[in-house]
Amino acid sequence: MPILLILITLLLPWLIKKYVFNHNPPKNQPPSPPKLPVIGNLHQLSALIHRALQTIGAKHGPVMLLHFGSKPVLVIQSADAAAQFLKDHDLVFSDKPHTSSTRRLMHYRKDVIIAPYGEYWRKMKSICVLQLLSNKRVGSFKFIREEETDLMLEKIGACCLSGSAVDLSQLFDLHSNNVICRASFGRRFGEGESGRRFTKALRELFQLMTNVEIGEFVPWLSWISRVNGFYGRVEKVREELDEFLEMVVEEHISKGLESGSDVNKNNENFVDILLKDSSIDRDGIKAILLDMLAGGTDTTSSTLEWAMTELIRNPTARMKLQTEVREIVQDRHVITDDDLGKMQYLKAVIKETLRLHAPVSLLGRVTREDITVMGYDISANTWVLVNTWAIGRDPASWDQPEMFHPERFLNSSLDFKGLDFKFVPFGHGRRGCPGIALAIASVEVVLANLMHKFEWKLPMGAKCEDLDVMEQPGVNLHRKNPLIVVPTPIGT
């Protein structure tokens, strides 16, 4: 009897919603795998959502409708379908999914990444592009990328001297963090005790942002997310990051007061520029700064991590890249932009890395109105997930898709602009990534230097081809295990 009562209590809201309020379901919906009452298809997801979706899609096709609780989620997993939905209807698909915890973490959508499509988002995005991410600005941060790369090379050099292995994952994290912090905030923040707390909080943010929590999708089960500590973790990270961002903002305000704004005029950085704009409030400033960290650090370090993983696993590609870099740079120490411009194989290696290991494996969208595409009726407010990871490995788009073969990008017109949906690591259209130039400039200079100055092998005589490629769940796909390698300086 008590069990029956509990069951009725649990199922009642779902039954009411399904049979009382839902009289007019759209006519022709995409195929859906069978779902359970209340939780929908949530039980079919795993921590690595992109992989779970690929598995479900193998049975139900490249376009399917799942339900996260009662939330309809359209999943698209082929280049052709993605083009028909997103390319032809970019405006309808230009909102972003959000949950109560992402809203809380991202200052109630006052940022860019999950801001609702509209005037505010347009203004914030154009500030990011003009003041931080344009080709001109990215060019002006060249000295930062070079200094940070030199610092990394010094650390690797020190490991060579002591004969010890180096944790490249950690070095890439620090490098990306330092580049973004120096470019946007004017100084590094990743070191020391407070730096460690800040980077730990950022890592936790990346984990929390993709957690598919039942309480987010079945509101009357939100007590589960309270009891299992999820909401507590969200609150703790929010407070820690807020404390950090407050400190950054205060530091810039007091610097401005001390020196007088005129003195600073030629020495402004991104935070100073945001502070001068009276139409952006304090929360908006913190939200946009958090976006730069959330959008720019982990994605770039994950690209470096996977590029080095694949180069170590694939000695032929590594030797080809080393030969290219060394022929162009010869025995000069500094690698110039001019050198990088000539490195066609390097560019192909980066593209191939992003095809196989797109850091953002799922592009998220929300429909702004009812729409019919490919004969399917999609309701307004449907979440849309485009599985770029699965598309990057789809045999319909790629020959031998599981193979790391940078040559496929040589003499090819495929670029990062997101025009061809078989390769969209930076997304597409209005909501596409504004940070491509900064990301690629950072990745190129690091990889070229690592190939120019060192030979690489795995510790304890492990075979290169045995290096694992296990992924860690999170908003950006990282290696599960840190990339530990043994460097030897070239010429020894």
Q: Residues 392, 406, 435, 474: which binds ligand HEM (CB under 6 A)?
A: 435
Q: Is 431 one of the binding residues for ligand HEM (CB under 6 A)?
A: yes
Near ligand HEM in 439-478, by CB under 6 A:
439
Neighbour tally for 338: CB within 10 Å? 8
Count of all residues that appear for the chain in the document: 492
Q: Is 343 one of the binding residues for ligand HEM (CB under 6 A)?
A: no
Strands 383-387 and 478-479: unpaired
**Structure tokens, 442:** 């950072």
First to last CA, the chain: 78
User: How far is it, in rounded angstroms, from Cα 149 to Cα 481?
Assistant: 23
Report angle CA 365, 291, 273 to the nearest 5 degrees: 130
Near ligand HEM in 11-40, by CB under 6 A:
none
Number of residue whose CB is nearest ligand HEM = 427
Contact 212, 45 (CB under 8 A): yes
Contact 289, 251 (CB under 8 A): no
Q: Is 427 one of the binding residues for ligand HEM (CB under 6 A)?
A: yes
Contact 172, 208 (CB under 8 A): no
Applying CB under 6 A, the span of 142-150, 151-159, 211-219, 425-433 interacting with ligand HEM comes to 425-433
**Structure tokens, 166:** 């180096």
Q: Is 309 one of the binding residues for ligand HEM (CB under 6 A)?
A: no
Q: How far is the CB of 180 from ligand HEM (least distance, A)?
A: 6
Contact 446, 349 (CB under 8 A): no
Contact 319, 464 (CB under 8 A): no
User: How far is it, in rounded angstroms, from Cα 72 to Cα 372?
Assistant: 15
Q: How far is the CB of 358 from ligand HEM (least distance, A)?
A: 6
Provide the 8-state DSSP code for 64.
Answer: E
Nearer to ligand HEM, 225 or 297 (CB): 297
Interface pattern 174-193 for ligand HEM (x via CB under 6 A):
------x-------------
441 SS3 class: helix
Q: Is 72 one of the binding residues for ligand HEM (CB under 6 A)?
A: no
Q: How far is the CB of 372 from ligand HEM (least distance, A)?
A: 22
Q: How far is the CB of 315 from ligand HEM (least distance, A)?
A: 25
φ, ψ of residue 490 to 5 degrees: the values are -65, 140
User: How far is it, in rounded angstroms, from Cα 161 to Cα 163?
Assistant: 5
Helix (H) or strand (E) holding 372: strand 371-373
Applying CB under 6 A, the span of 147-155, 356-364, 393-401, 484-492 interacting with ligand HEM comes to 356-364
Q: How far is the CB of 184 from ligand HEM (least distance, A)?
A: 7
Q: Residues 249, 356, 363, 385: which binds ligand HEM (CB under 6 A)?
A: 363
Nearer to ligand HEM, 300 or 314 (CB): 300
Q: Is 112 one of the binding residues for ligand HEM (CB under 6 A)?
A: yes
Applying CB under 6 A, the span of 7-15, 73-81, 145-153, 298-306 interacting with ligand HEM comes to 298-306
Neighbour tally for 264: CB within 10 Å? 15
Near ligand HEM in 238-297, by CB under 6 A:
291-292, 295-296
Nearer to ligand HEM, 113 or 328 (CB): 113
Interface pattern 132-161 for ligand HEM (x via CB under 6 A):
-x----------------------------
Q: Residues 359, 406, 473, 487: which binds ligand HEM (CB under 6 A)?
A: 359
Query: By CB neighbour count within 10 A (0-12 exposed, 13-18 middle, 19+ buried), where does 146 fall?
Result: middle
Nearer to ligand HEM, 355 or 428 (CB): 428
User: How far is it, in rounded angstroms, from Cα 163 to Cα 156?
Assistant: 10
Which residues are at the interface with ligand HEM (CB under 6 A)? 112-113, 125, 128, 133, 180, 291-292, 295-296, 299-300, 303, 359-360, 363, 425-428, 431-435, 438-439
